[in-house]
Amino acid sequence: MSKSPFIESIRNTIRTKRYSLRTEKAYLYWIRQFIIFHGKRHPKDMAEFEVEQFLTHLAVTKKVSPLTQNQALCALIFMFRHEVSKELHNMQFQFAKTPKRIPQVLTHHESLSVIHQLSGIHQLVAGLMYGGGLRVSEALRLRIKDFDLERNTVFVFRSKGQKDRMTLLPENLKEDIAIQIERVKDIHEQDLVDGFGMTSLPASLIKKYGQAAKQLYWQYLFPSTTRCEHPYDGYTCRHHIHQTSFRKALKKAVERANIPKRVTSHTFRHSFATRMLETGHDIRVVQELLGHDDVKTTQIYTHVLGKNKFGAISPMDTNR
- Strand partners for 153: 148, 168
Angle between helices 66-82 and 5-16 (to 10 degrees): 100
Give the separation between CA 271 and CA 57, rounded to whole angstroms: 36
Among residues 18, 62, 160, 163, the one annotated as catalytic is 160
Contact 207, 214 (CB under 8 A): no
Among residues 122, 238, 240, 269, the one annotated as catalytic is 269
Q: Is 57 noted as a catalytic residue in this protein?
A: no
Q: Is 269 noted as a catalytic residue in this protein?
A: yes
DSSP string, 208-231: HHGGGGGSGGGSBSSB-SS-EE-T
List of residues 6+ apart from 71 with CB closer than 8 A: 26, 30
Contact 51, 76 (CB under 8 A): yes
Q: Is 22 noted as a catalytic residue in this protein?
A: no
Q: What's the alpha-carbon Rg for the chain, to the nearest Å?
A: 23
Q: Is 247 noted as a catalytic residue in this protein?
A: no
Among residues 266, 281, 303, 307, the one annotated as catalytic is 266
Indicate the DSSP class of residue 58: I
Instruction: Kindly tell me the burial class for residue 289, based on how many C-beta atoms sit within 10 Å of its own C-beta (0-12, 13-18, 19 or more).
Output: buried
Give the separation between CA 247 and CA 251, rounded to whole angstroms: 6
How many degrees, rounded to 5, is the angle at CA 132 between CA 129 and CA 134?
Answer: 45
Among residues 135, 143, 270, 275, the one annotated as catalytic is 135
Q: Is 11 noted as a catalytic residue in this protein?
A: no
User: What CA dihedral angle connects 134, 139, 142 and 146, to 10 degrees?
Assistant: 30
Q: Is 209 noted as a catalytic residue in this protein?
A: no
Give buried/exposed letters for 108-140 (b at 16+ CB in 10 A, else e).
eebbebbbebbeebbbbbbbbbbbbbbbbebbb
Active site residues: 135, 160, 266, 269, 292, 301
